[in-house]
Every structure is written in structure tokens, then in C-alpha cells.
Amino acid sequence: MRNPDLVLESLKKHSNNNQYVYEKLYRNLYNPDFFLKAYTKIYAKKTDEFSIQRVEKLIEMLKNESYYPNPIKQKKDKKQRSLKKLSYEDKLVQEIIRSILEAIYEDVFSKNSHKNCQIAIRQIKRTFTGVKWWIEGDIKEFFNNINHETLIKLLRKRIKDEKFLRLMRKFLKAGYLENIKYSKGYLAVPQGGTLSSILANVYLHELDMYMEKFMEQYNKGAKSKMLAKKIPAEEYSKSTKTSKTLLSHEQFAEDYRRMKYIRYADDFLIGIIGTKEEAKEVKGKVTTYLTEMLQLELDQEKTSITHWRNKIRFLEYDIFVAVDDSAKNKDGTEPRGGMIKLSLPHDVLSSFMIRNNYMKIVNGKWKAMHRPKLLNYDDLKILSIYNAEYRRFYQYYKYAFNVKEKLGSAHFIFAWSFKKTLAGKYRTKVRKLMNMKTQSGQKKYFRNGVWGVTYINNRKEETFVPLFDKKL
């Protein structure tokens, strides 16, 4: 049997050749080493043991095509709906399929399609400068409405292995793409099977390719070097009388237009440097393409066209175009937009603080809370949970211009929640906690104006770990 890494590397070498068709993929599912590789990825930090007997039985079922993945059904709960736990065998098989599909497709996906929210956000900030109109794309119940036959047809473009495609049909019929939801923002991960992300991208890769061709056709003109210097509006009227190299604002709008596009999962964003009529036309064409070619429907109410003066919400960031003060016009024409600004929304921050039980809102004011569910953990574990939650949130929103201001205010509540939780654990007051000392006489929880936890490391030394603060 061939080494799985070598097999995947071989598949990857042909991925950029659109004419290349992959054959005999299914036989990789007869290779026990592929299952060991999948097991290592899934169960690396768990106690489940790799069972060669179970794998051999599974391989035999795959050979005679008697294997069927267990259906993913949602069970109702009073508070939430959760996916049924996948079986050991299903996890291994779908991980192998994912690795094969990723080797085939990952390198050919569009540069405007992203698995990582932060990369998408950075691209918007870098490349959407000067946008006049936003089109926020919202595909109605995307994962529930993926057409299985269309997906198989798209896979068949690159894969000529009917056994492999029949296995894909089994996973689709078992519901591995239905009721899958992506958490947006700093929780940006697909909720469900590992196949959901790669198959969604295979499906929407067609939209990405359509948009790239659309942009090539739409884009027109080149920026004048003189315009790039941001010549004041009153100088335009003078210069156009003596020089044909300078354009008026109206001529600039007619001779220059651009379209920007980016996608994460089933959400996409289009930026138009052009007229509102052109933005409406773009939205109409994208709607038609999705309906006719991919059997998908845009939610017309949520897919809005927004002027650059108004902010939009995308991937849990507020995004807007800053006014370019140096381009304000005295001739009555509209000033040009400038750089893209990213903002941490107040409601997103508030939701984060409430969801993690740092606080509650009383009479419109934030009030810190202790967290009873953490009281049975040791001090370092409590600190680690607080730090991991807050750091992850900060890392995602660090591109927002107001992140220091917003998280600076929230950190006060965050720190009080931590203090109250420790005080609750030891049934004491926060002020007494502040003065508690270790055996060496050092303060245990509060040093040099910073809250944290002192613990004994492997070298039997006292180590102070501070509560996370972006300023540290």
C-alpha cells in the first residue's frame, strides 16, 4: 500500500491542470494507512484506540459497497438543536474523503474565496478602497438547498470514478450537508461534518469563477496619475480648460469603474465603484446566475445595496468607507470615499460578554457576574478559560480601529467577573482576595496593579500568570 502523504501529494500535483481527470480514487479507501492517518488527525488528543479489526471490517464493507454512513438527524432540546454524534467509522471515512478532495481542489479555489474570516476581512480592508456601493450577498438556506445532482455533476468534471461518486451520494443522502451552520466572526468554524466546508466550496467555486469573469468584463478605465494626487475640486474646472489629460468628476465616473468580490462560506460581498444603476444590474445578474446555474436563491430582503456613506455588517464586523476630507468638493459634486474602516460592533461585544456570563444588563447598565460553573476548577484552570475566551475575541477583532477603546471598557467588567468567580470559589470578598498571600509572602492574586493567579510550576517555583489584557 502506498504512503497516504505521497498519494495526496501526487493528487495535488495535477490540481492546477483543469483538463486532468482523476481516476481510481476509491481504492485509497482500501488502504489501512489512510485510516491511521485519519485517526491520528481526529483522535490525536483522545483516548480512543486505533482498532485495526474495525478498520479491516470497514474496508471490506467499502469494497462490496455495503457501507452506508449513519444519517445525521437533529434532536430537539428545550434550549438548542444539536447534531447527532458521528460514529467512529463515519468520522474516519469522511476524513479520508475530505483529504482527497482538498488535495484535488484546494489549490484551484479562487483567491477571493476564504476558509479564514480574518484573511477575508484583511482583503476587504486592503482592496475595497473607494467603493461607492455595497452588495451584501445572502444565499437563502444555502446548506439546505444545495442541489445534490448539481454537486455530483460538478465533482464529475474532475473525478471519473463512479464508486467514489456513489459514496459521495451516500453522504449527501445521509444529511451531511443539511442543517449545517457556520458560526460567523471569531467562532468561524463549520458546525457539522468535516465534508461540509470542502463540498460547499466546490459548489460555490462556480460562483467565484463567474464573478471573476464578470469583474474582468465590468472593470473599465485606469486611474489618472493627476487624479491620484487628489487635486482640489476647484482646480478641476480650471485644468480641464487648458489640459485634456485631466478629467472632471463626471468624466472620471464615466471612464473608470471597478468591481470587488469576496466570499466566506455562503456569504459574499461585492463592492462597486460605479453607479447605483450598475450595482442593481450586477445584483440582478448574480441572482439569475445562482438561480439558473446553481439552483440557489438569493434572499432579496437581506441582499441589500448600500451606499458607501452607510456602514454594512459582514462577518460580524461593521464596515464603512471613511470620507476623504482632502477630496471634498465645493462645486456641489459628491466627495469621494477613501479608506475602508473596520469597527467592532457594540451589540457583538455585548453579546460576547453576556454569552460568556461575564455580565448581565440591569437598567441598561453592564453589571459583572461570577460564573458558578467554574467554581469547581482550580485557580489556573479558571484563569486559562477567561484568558482563552478574551484573547480569541481580541485576536479576531484586532483589525477594528476602535478595538482598544471598546475592549478597554469591556475589560473592566471582564476583570470583575474573574475576581468575583475566584471570590465565590473561596467564599470571600474581592478586597480580601486582593491581599491573600502565598507561602513566600508574595501576593497570590494581585501584583503590581494586575490581577492573575500564582501557581507552583514543575520546578517548584512560584509563577504569576496575569489575566489577559491587550496592553500586556
What is the rounded CA–CA span in Å between residue 59 and residue 49? 18
| Domain containing residue 391 | 347-466
Q: Please check whether residues 293 and 410 belong to one and the same domain.
A: no
Q: Please check whether residues 370 and 316 belong to one and the same domain.
A: no
Does residue 229 sit within a domain?
A: no
Rounded to two decimals, the pTM is 0.82
Last residue of a domain, one of 320, 343, 366: 343
What is the domain count for the chain? 3
Last residue of a domain, one of 291, 308, 343: 343
What is the rounded CA–CA span in Å between residue 179 and residue 218? 36
Does residue 233 sit within a domain?
A: no
Does residue 234 sit within a domain?
A: no
Q: Please check whether residues 104 and 160 belong to one and the same domain.
A: no
Write out residues in the chain with pLDDT < 70, as ranges: 44-48, 73-85, 178-193, 223-254, 324-337, 471-472
Do residues 60 and 49 make contact, with C-beta atoms less than 8 angstroms apart?
Answer: no
- Dihedrals phi, psi of 411, to nearest 5 degrees: -65, -30
Q: Please check whether residues 192 and 294 belong to one and the same domain.
A: yes
Which DSSP category does 204 fall into? H
Per-residue confidence (pLDDT) for residue 174, from 0 to 100: 87
Look at the alpha carbons of 383, 188, 181, 344 in this order and tell me if their dihedral is positive or negative: positive
Grid cell 475576581 — which residue?
419
Q: Please check whether residues 217 and 143 belong to one and the same domain.
A: yes
Do residues 286 and 112 make contact, with C-beta atoms less than 8 angstroms apart?
Answer: no
Tell how many helices (H) and how many strands (E) occur in the chain. 17, 19
Q: Please check whether residues 443 and 315 belong to one and the same domain.
A: no
What is the rounded CA–CA span in Å between residue 74 and residue 144? 13
Per-residue confidence (pLDDT) for residue 195, from 0 to 100: 85
